Amino acid sequence: MDDAGHRYGPTDDEHIGPALLELDKVLGQLFRGVEATGLPVNTFIVSDHGMIDVAPDKLINIDPLEQDSLYLIANNGALAHLYLKDGADKDTVFRFLKSKEDHFQVYKIEDFPFYHCSQDNPRLGDLILLPEYGYYLRDSRRIALAQEGKFRQGGEHGFNPEFPEMHAIFYANGPAIKKGLTIPSFRNVHVYPLICRILGLPAPDDIDGRIEVLEEILAE
């Protein structure tokens, strides 16, 4: 599914449909195999992210932002980290990037909205570029290939996790799970303590997940 989404975008039914059918076939084989064991197995279907369509006309050229003497850019498209070189002044670089803002925002790391993520990772940049919804950071070569039709710009992820399209899936079934229940979205860190509870294992205290979030789906 991830490959099809990147190649064609998540709303391309012509290509996403067959990928879904293939996934359904594989899951069917899994469930039939589980049922054949006669064991009381609980199954979970999850994903690590969603997907957003990115059109070729919403690619942001990151090349004009490069200042090799001042900083290095680590760009993954939905986010770019900037690492200042020795002697570079953060405020000066920030003002330069602010003057170039076009469908993206620049943040000093101390002002970045972390969306529940770790704020003390040593790999975090000194500044971060964050594209607007539906936009993606690319270099000029990839943009030219996309506009010429030589590179298909499909779906992408890694954006603001508050976007509904970034939300992952969660399906649970088995003797420990209530039937026919639909629940609100939740952070996927809470899946781990749920599985610990089902397996009768203690969940560590030093984790972000909490059993209280998903406890309601457990059968009595």
* Residue-wise pLDDT tens digits, 114-127: 776 777 788 999 99
Q: Supply the pTM of this predicted model.
A: 0.82
Domains and CATH numbers, the chain: 2-53+163-217 (3.40.720.10), 56-152 (3.30.1360.180)
Question: In whole angstroms, what is the distance from residue 187 CA to residue 182 CA?
Answer: 15
Any residues with CB less than 8 A from the CB of 153 and at least 6 apart, and which?
A: 54, 55, 56, 59, 136, 146
* Per-residue model confidence as pLDDT tens digits over 51-107: 999 988 999 999 999 999 999 999 999 999 999 999 999 999 999 999 999 999 999
What b/e readout covers 117-154, taking b as 16+ CB neighbours within 10 angstroms? eeeeeeebbbbbbbbeeebbbbeeebbeebeeeeeebb
Give the separation between CA 207 and CA 118, rounded to whole angstroms.
12
What is the spatial distance between Cα 184 and Cα 108, in angstroms, rounded to a whole number? 33
